[in-house]
Amino acid sequence: MALRRFLVGGNWKMNGTKESLGELILNLNTSDLQEETEVVCAAPFIYLDFARSCLDPRISVAAQNCYKESKGAFTGEISPAMIKDCGADWVVLGHSERRHVFGESEELVGQKVAHALEHDLGVIACIGEKLEEREAGTTDDVVFTQTQIIAENVNDWGKVVLAYEPVWAIGTGMTATPEQAQEVHEKLRLWLRANVSDDVADSVRIIYGGSVTGANCRELASQADVDGFLVGGASLKPEFVDIINARA
C-alpha cells in the first residue's frame, strides 16, 4: 500500500482577530510539530495574506471556499487565482456549512472542485451525512453520491484530500467513534477502488472531521483508513498541537 502522509487541517471558520490568530500562529510556529504530518490552516479570506505571512513556511494555508469562475461580476466571491496570489495552496470545498447553511448544491461544489484544480490549488473536499440520513440507514448512499460528483470533477487526485465530516458530529461534541469513522473511510476507499483506480484508492488521504479533540485524536488516528483530521473548534486552541502530533 502506498504511504499516505498524515494531514491535519485546522478550519478556523469565521473566528479570530489578527490578535487572537497571531497568538495561535505563534504557538504553532514555536511548537514541536511532528515532521511527518502535513499541516494546513484554513483562514478566513480576509486573513489569508496575514496567515501566510505569519505562519512558519512548513505550515500551509487554505481558503475556506472559493468561486467557480476566474474573475468577473461576482460581488463577494473570491477566485482560486486570488487565493494563490495570497500564497495559499489549498482550498476547502463542500464543507457542510457551505452545503447546509449557504445552500451550495452538489453541482456547484463539483464545479468549484474542477475550477480550483485547474488553478493548481490543493482541494480538501468535504462530504458527510446528516443525522437523519444516518438514522435512516442512507449514510453510504449520501457519501458515495457526494464523492461521485466530486470525482467527476477531479483530473488530478494527487491534489485532492477527502474529508469525511458527519454533519451530526460537527461542533456538537458528538465525535464519531473510531469504529464509525473507520467504517465509512474504508467504504470510501473501496468506492474509490471500484470507481476510480487502485492507485487512487491507495494514495488518496481520507481525513475525519467532527468534534476532534486532543483527548480523542489518538484513537481515531490509529484507524487504518483515517489519514488525518479536519478540526474546527479545537484548531483554535493550544490542543491543536496535540492533534497534529496524534500519530507521534
**Catalytic positions, written as ranges:** 95, 165
Minimum CB–partner distance for residue 209 and ligand 13P (Å): 4
Please name every residue paired with 133 in a beta bridge, in sequence order, or none if there are none.
none
The correct pick among 212, 220, 241, 246 for binding ligand 13P (CB under 6 A) is: 212
Residues 82-121 that bind ligand 13P (CB under 6 A): 95
Q: What angle do CA 241, 181, 235 make, to 5 degrees?
A: 25
Q: Binding mask 167-186 vs ligand 13P (x if CB under 6 A, - otherwise)?
A: ---xx---------------
Specify the stretch interacting with ligand 13P by CB under 6 A; choose among 55-63, 78-86, 184-192, 209-217: 209-217
Work out how close the CB of 170 gets to ligand 13P at its nearest, in angstroms, rounded to a whole number: 4
In whole angstroms, the minimum distance from the beta carbon of 162 to ligand 13P comes to 13
| Region near ligand 13P per CB under 6 A, out of 129-137, 147-155, 208-216, 239-247 | 208-216
Residue by residue, DSSP assigns 144-194 as: HHHHHHHHTT-S-GGGEEEEE--GGGTTTS-PPPHHHHHHHHHHHHHHHHH
Q: How many CB atoms lie within 10 A of CB 222?
A: 12
CB under 6 A: which stretch of 53-61, 164-172, 195-203, 219-227 binds ligand 13P? 164-172
End-to-end CA distance of the chain: 21
Are 8 and 40 within 8 A, CB to CB?
A: yes
Residue 136 burial (CB count, 10 A): 12
* DSSP assigned state of 17: -
- The C-alpha atoms of residue 129 and residue 133 are separated, in whole angstroms, by 6
Q: Taking CB under 6 A as the rule, does residue 165 contact ligand 13P? A: yes
Note the residues at the interface with ligand 13P (CB under 6 A). 11, 95, 165, 170-171, 209-212, 230-234
